[in-house]
Structure 1
Amino acid sequence: MKSDKIENAAKRIFAVMSFAGPVGAVRPFWIDGGSSAQQDEARRYAAAAINVETPLPQASGSWRLVILESPFAGDVEANQAYARAAMRDCLYRGEAPYASHLLYTQPGVLDDNDADQRRQGIEAGLTWGKMASATVVYTDRGISRGMHQGIERAQAERRLVEYRALSEGNK
């Protein structure tokens, strides 16, 4: 059942989401059937990633190439879950997203904590962007420094920049 899949995925996303409470505060925990801002956010991400009722477009010449911008640094696990949900959203829109921050940061590729390797990964991703028709910026988790670089590069190359939120229309 779709709702069970979404709820189970939301629990896993919730477990890795950042908690910005006061020092010494107890991290919130999942309450079955509960509704908090954090649980609702996790459900939105899960629903976007699991939206099984909408078929993916078939491969053809109609796919639009896009660079996906979303946060990576900071709460890496939650940001990766969010980026995967954003990629799924792009696919449902008939787009072929490229998210270098998910590709180049895999173990054995580049170390995002090393400034030179991080710069190399960002530059490689932005270079690929010359082939894209748009840069899509997912804003639910804010806009990071790296995302700003991608936006500036897209503007300099006169590439369309679109701002999106998974919380809009993907609940």
Structure 2
Amino acid sequence: MANNLQIASAAYIVMHLLTKKKQSSIKKRRWWTTQIFRSRQLYNGTSMIRDLNFHTDSGQFENFARMSQEDFEHLVSLLTPIIAKQTTHFREPIPVNERLAVTLRFLATGESYTSLQYVFKISKQCISLIVPEVCQSLIEVLKEYVKVIINTFINNSK
């Protein structure tokens, strides 16, 4: 009986030490956000769009977004009910026009998420969530305008 108690006590001590070691190996974050993303309030995608003379006919916006200002605004109005996020106590959400601009820039240029994070001051982790979400929403919103030929291809390949 005493031998079983010693074995159980030793097993408990080993398990306790292993869980304690595992908990201490989890690295704590050094900061909530980096300095570049903290300055997002001063200069962000919305101000960049405004700087591209969004309401003038300079052509800079069309060069950046690869579409007209009217088409961009139309897409923003279509996507707003689907991808707009609520404001929380922690931070402001990324506006729909910035989400769309990041996605369009990614699709038009093929720039990496790392490169886009410096242009829009949105973390690449956030961009990796935004781009697929906006693409899926674009497919959903524009499905009546764009014909997807996947079924036709499958039927013809038989």
Q: Which TM-score bucket, shorter chain as reference?
A: under 0.3
Q: Between Structure 1 and Structure 2, which shows a larger proportion of strand residues?
A: 1
Q: Between Structure 1 and Structure 2, which shows a larger proportion of helix residues?
A: 2
TM-score with structure 2 setting the length:
0.25
Kindly name which structure, 1 or 2, has the bigger radius of gyration based on alpha carbons.
Answer: 2
